[in-house]
Amino acid sequence: QLQLQESGPGLVKPSGTLSLTCAASGDSISSTHWWSWVRQPPGKGLEWIGEIFHTGRTNYNPSLNNRVTISVDTSKNQFSLRLSSVTAADTAFYYCARIYCGGGICNYGKDVWGQGTTVTVS
Amino acid sequence: EIVLTQSPGTLSLSPGERATLSCRASQSVSNIHIAWYQQKPGQAPRLLIYGASTRATGIPDRFSGSGSGTDFTLTISRLEPEDFAVYYCQHYTDLPVTYTFGQGTKVEIK
């Protein structure tokens, strides 16, 4: 059964770069699914950050103004998030999640989530 | 850009009652692109419904999704104690690829 685990620094300085990794176990990153990042500021709702396929193809949230880079390392079965030029507004709980795709069709729902990791910009 | 508006903001109900949560899109969308999630305090969201009406694996049948066009509904037929949580709807579009969440509806114990 697929499990996802986020890791990375919990504190980032303003104007710095946030870097997180999501390690997958129980399924291969090189499978048919997409892999995504979602964040949630304290006490607020969910915001999609972006997604990646194992080939390296990515999609990003336009509202993040080209600050986002998502990469994949199939040899380590993990994918990563980098968010540059961070401000206090980037303080949030960050989740990685799978978007299930099978038979050439995606259901567009994020069916497996990591437990999340908190990042504070200060 | 499609905006999802969920209502009500908070729903106060008792266990055993029926909960009806609304998600309205700012323009007509395809059913297959609508999903619903449940989130409890301190936990990651949990996928309940995708394709507007298909229950995800392991989701009890008291949860159902419906709707089309701009109006979508998540119904919990009889609230169990574990159902009190925040619920989010989500839309996907591919022009360009974007996932948008509603602001959430909190279902609280009355």
* Contact status, residue B4 vs residue B98, Cβ threshold 8 Å: no
> What span, in angstroms and rounded, lies between the C-alpha atoms of B50 and B21?
15
DSSP label at residue A29: T
Whether the pLDDT of residue B46 is over 90: the answer is: yes
| Whole-number pLDDT of residue B57 | 93
Whether residues A95 and B97 touch (CB distance < 8 A) is answered with: no
Tell whether the model's pLDDT for residue B51 goes beyond 90.
yes
Nearest to A109 among B35, B97, B101 (CB): B35
Q: Hey, is the C-beta of B2 within 8 angstroms of any chain A C-beta?
A: no
Establish how many alpha carbons lie within 13 A of residue A3's alpha carbon, considering only the half-sphere containing its beta carbon.
3
pLDDT at A103: 80
Alpha-carbon distance B65 to nearest alpha carbon in chain A (angstroms): 14
Distance of CA A102 to CAs A23, A41, A105, Å?
21, 31, 5
**pLDDT confidence of residue A105:** 83
Per-residue pLDDT for A40 more than 90? yes
